[in-house]
């Protein structure tokens, strides 16, 4: 996803960004295609939901929050 968003950020004009997204929709990796389709249907961006998704995944594996101790 970093590669996809970096490529998107490199394009300054709206038309260039849309053409990049269209090319990624047809020739990009599956994760980029899923992200583009999700955005078309109003799902939040990956980087907006990733921290929550990762936290839930780690909790499902039995890992809780890491607490730092001072002392």
Whether 70 is covered by a domain: the verdict is no
Whether 67 is covered by a domain: the verdict is no
Whether 40 is covered by a domain: the verdict is yes
Q: Tokens for 6?
A: 């970096």
CB 28 within 8 A of CB 22: no
List the domain range (segments joined by +) for residue 20.
2-60
Segment 65-69 mean pLDDT: 63
Is residue 71 predicted with pLDDT exceeding 60?
no
CB 35 within 8 A of CB 24: no
Based on the structure, what is the number of domains in the chain? 1
CB 35 within 8 A of CB 4: yes
pTM value surpassing 0.75: no
Whether 69 is covered by a domain: the verdict is no
Over residues 1-43, the pLDDT tens digits come to 889 889 999 999 999 999 999 999 999 999 899 989 988 898 8
pLDDT at position 20, please?
95
CB 23 within 8 A of CB 32: no
Is residue 67 predicted with pLDDT exceeding 80?
no
Q: Look at residues 25, 26, 35, 27 and name the one whose alpha carbon lies nearest to residue 2.
A: 35
């Amino acid at each position: 996803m970093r590669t996809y968003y970096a490529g998107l950020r490199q394009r300054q004009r709206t038309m260039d960004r849309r053409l990049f997204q269209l090319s990624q929709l047809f020739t990009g990796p599956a994760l980029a295609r899923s992200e583009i389709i999700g955005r078309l249907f109003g799902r939040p961006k990956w980087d907006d939901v990733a921290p929550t998704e990762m936290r839930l995944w780690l909790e499902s594996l039995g890992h809780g929050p890491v607490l730092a101790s001072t002392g």
